[in-house]
């Protein structure tokens, strides 16, 4: 994997670049639609390409390991062949999912024992077998196995967790270097910076990760309950240390405002379930603010969903989408998901354009307050 840093904004740390993988190029900053189980919920891959204009999607190691399982994925020739997505894929390590299973998981030095949320069966993840699993999935970008501590963790727990994550990272790198890609193209491994909301731990973690010399680096353990301003502060602390010539991936974040704030602080890559999850629940993101399409105010509004948006935004009216949600038609969730994903991709594309133009901060200031308003 290669990363070319093309432009840095004159008034901030915002950057524009190009990531080159075996499955194509990615223009940064970029948002990655979440395809947890090998599909982005309710959206065809043709729509992801043509409407959403997604350049890379994310898969989840935990979910893909449980379903369809490694035998099927390996027999298919990896996730790209299994789901027919021929552009880049990133897989997270499953660490966040295991973290969210508090109560049915046990952390040990060796790894993490957990029970499936599907049938209660017992499983064990180690840094080594997670690397093997991500090799089988075949993602272009693999994530290291880590523990994601709760946002309100105390210092002692956060430090203990970080030390475990760092020991696991060394084991991940060792296993990654001992193994080869299975499907004839290269894969790369990103370490993850943890450290909760403590500046010294974040600095230590960023230094530890930066010294590994990976092709890119991720920032994890944010947007898990800490105040938003603290999240921004942690991004600043970490990005002071992470190398500028490598892409920086902020995991699981977030709202359109979060994304613009993080871009200003030097983040290049994002993923979040919010566009599709909120879309399935009738919330649309737009430059004018958010719209709840179940509200009666849209009942007789025959104007386009978003005249400046993607194709579905222009051919369907607000009144029609309101009707679909009221009637509980599945098409409502599909249209809303496509709209939200396309908006997120449009947002980062516009950010890139203004970074290259050198007026990102001015543009961001002109749109960010309106993004959070309810229409």
Q: What is the DSSP letter of 15?
A: E
pLDDT the model gives residue 228? 95
DSSP letters along 146-215, please?
-----TT--HHHHHHHHHHHHHHHHHHHHHHHH---SSSS--EEE-EE--TT-HHHHHHHHHHHHTT--S
96 annotated binding-site participant = yes
Summarised one tens digit per residue, pLDDT across range 206-248 is: 999 999 999 999 999 998 888 999 999 999 999 999 999 999 9
Summarised one tens digit per residue, pLDDT across range 303-345 is: 999 999 999 999 999 999 999 999 999 999 999 999 999 999 9
Domain count, the chain: 1
Give this prediction's pTM: 0.97
User: CA 222, CA 59: separation in Å to the nearest integer?
Assistant: 19
Q: Helix, strand, or coil here: 254?
A: coil
User: CA 348, CA 346: separation in Å to the nearest integer?
Assistant: 6
Q: Helix, strand, or coil here: 373?
A: coil
94 annotated binding-site participant = yes
In a domain, 1, yes or no: no
User: CA 73, CA 49: separation in Å to the nearest integer?
Assistant: 23
Q: Which residues are catalytic?
A: 92, 271
CB atoms within 10 A of CB 239: 21
Q: Which domain holds residue 170?
A: 30-272
Domain containing residue 179: CATH number? 3.20.20.105
pLDDT the model gives residue 323? 98
- In angstroms, what CA-CA distances link 322 with 47, 139, 277? 21, 38, 17
pLDDT the model gives residue 152? 83
pLDDT the model gives residue 95? 77
User: CA 372, CA 289: separation in Å to the nearest integer?
Assistant: 5
pLDDT the model gives residue 42? 93
User: CA 375, CA 367: separation in Å to the nearest integer?
Assistant: 15
pLDDT the model gives residue 177? 98
Sheet holding 2-8, edge to edge: 2-8, 15-21, 24-28
pLDDT the model gives residue 104? 75
In a domain, 19, yes or no: no
In a domain, 7, yes or no: no
366 annotated binding-site participant = no
In a domain, 243, yes or no: yes
Please, which residues have CB within 8 angstroms of residue 95's CB and are 6 or more apart in sequence?
Answer: 143, 145, 146, 147, 148, 192, 220
Phi, psi of 192 (to 5 degrees): -125, 130
In a domain, 200, yes or no: yes
In a domain, 364, yes or no: no
How many CA atoms lie within 13 Å of 282's alpha carbon, on the beta-carbon side? 18
In a domain, 335, yes or no: no
92 annotated binding-site participant = yes
Sheet holding 57-60, edge to edge: 57-60, 89-92, 141-143, 188-190
220 annotated binding-site participant = no
User: CA 267, CA 13: separation in Å to the nearest integer?
Assistant: 8
Which residue numbers in the chain have pLDDT < 70? 99, 102
In a domain, 24, yes or no: no
Q: Helix, strand, or coil here: 220?
A: coil
């Amino acid at each position: 994997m290669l990363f070319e840093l093309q432009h840095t904004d004159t008034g901030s740390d915002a950057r524009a670049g190009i990531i080159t993988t075996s499955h194509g190029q990615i223009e940064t900053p970029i948002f990655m639609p979440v395809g947890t189980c090998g599909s982005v919920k309710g959206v065809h891959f043709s729509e992801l390409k043509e409407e959403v204009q997604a350049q890379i999607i994310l898969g989840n190691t935990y979910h893909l390991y449980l379903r369809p399982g490694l035998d099927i994925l390996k027999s298919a020739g990896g996730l790209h062949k299994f789901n027919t997505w021929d552009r880049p894929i990133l897989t997270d390590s499953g660490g966040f999912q295991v973290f969210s299973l508090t109560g049915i998981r046990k952390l040990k030095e060796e790894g993490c024992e957990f029970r499936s949320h599907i049938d209660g069966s017992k499983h064990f993840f180690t840094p080594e077998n997670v690397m093997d699993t991500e090799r089988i999935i075949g993602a272009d970008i693999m994530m290291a196995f880590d523990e994601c501590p709760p946002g309100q963790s105390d210092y002692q727990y956060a430090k203990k967790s970080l030390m475990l994550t760092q020991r696991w990272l060394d084991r991940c790198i060792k296993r990654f270097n001992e193994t080869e890609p299975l499907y004839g193209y290269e894969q790369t491994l990103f370490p993850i910076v943890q450290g909760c909301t403590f500046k010294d731990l974040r600095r230590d973690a960023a230094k530890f990760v930066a010294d590994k010399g990976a092709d890119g680096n991720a920032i994890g353990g944010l947007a898990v309950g800490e105040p938003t301003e603290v999240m921004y502060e942690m991004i600043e602390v970490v990005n002071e240390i992470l190398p500028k010539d490598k892409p920086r991936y902020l995991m699981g974040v977030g709202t359109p405002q979060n994304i613009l704030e993080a871009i200003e602080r030097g983040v290049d890559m994002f993923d979040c379930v919010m566009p599709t999850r909120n879309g399935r629940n009738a919330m649309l993101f737009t430059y004018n603010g958010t719209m709840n399409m179940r509200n009666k105010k849209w009942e007789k509004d025959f104007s386009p969903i978003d005249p400046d948006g993607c194709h579905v935004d222009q051919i369907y009216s607000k009144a029609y989408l309101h009707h679909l949600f009221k009637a509980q038609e599945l098409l409502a969730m599909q249209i809303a998901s496509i709209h939200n994903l396309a908006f997120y991709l449009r947002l980062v594309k516009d950010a890139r354009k203004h970074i290259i133009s050198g007026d990102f901060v001015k543009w961001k200031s002109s749109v960010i307050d309106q993004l959070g308003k309810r229409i």
